[in-house]
Amino acid sequence: MKVYAHRGYSGMYPENTMLAFKKAAETGCDGIELDVQLTKDQVVVIIHDENIDRTTDGAGMVRDYTYEELKKFNAGVLFPDITDFQPIPTFEEYCAWVADTGLETNIEIKTGIYYYEDIEKKTVDLIRKYGLEKKVMFSSFNHMSLVRAKELLPEAECGALLGETGIGNPGYYCRAQGFECYHPGYQSVTKEIVDQCGKYGVKINVWTINGLHELERLCEWGCDGVITNYPEVCRVWAAYKDKKKQST
């Protein structure tokens, strides 16, 4: 299974910051999962919530701030023992950094609550600018955003995000919509779901996996990837499992 760092190394560092992304890279994980939204002046930024209240020392909606205003807020406020200040990063800043690594990037397009105009195109333009076409995938709870992303960047994989209840017959659904992947919450996953996705050639990457019990189960079922807040733990566990297989 591949290991994707959920919002970077978010279990130990402030989520969706360059610090969390760089620390995730140090763990040897396969990729990073992050979230993109648009500012008032149409800058693609990396932040999970539609507002900045939970993860910064500010308040209000992302879309109501210009980036010059937004970058003044501290996205490291929840980790005062780790860092003094971390700005909300732009997606371009991330692209410039990740282009020199071997990491894949799972980009969640945050259009499930508010639909940002042209966010898919603005995101794809930056991907092309930094030559990341073969190192990204898209995911979203708004599956129309995935359709649009696929139109703009056909070579990129798309993963249908579903909540804790999932969806029935997900393998067929994803194949019918042209999505290569299914991204469910762990609570909705069963071996039958994994097998059903495999039947239709659909990869399954599960979120958010932070416990060894869940890792063991998903590995046994044949899942393709896990999205985790603790990529170092998952990577060490995966290396142990690989070594164990080689010795038997």
Half-sphere exposure of 54 (CA within 13 A, CB side): 8
Distance set, CA 116 to CA 37, 57, 101, 121, 142 (Å): 7, 24, 29, 11, 12
Residues facing 61 on adjacent strands: 51
CB 182 within 8 A of CB 171: yes
- Is residue 35 within 8 Å of residue 56, measured between CB atoms? no
Given 6, 143, 183, 213, the catalytic residue: 6
The DSSP H or E segment spanning 212 is helix 212-221
Is residue 183 annotated as a catalytic residue, yes or no? no
Work out the number of other CB atoms within 10 angstroms of the CB of residue 192.
Answer: 9
120 neighbors 148 (Cβ within 8 angstroms) = yes
Active site residues: 6, 48
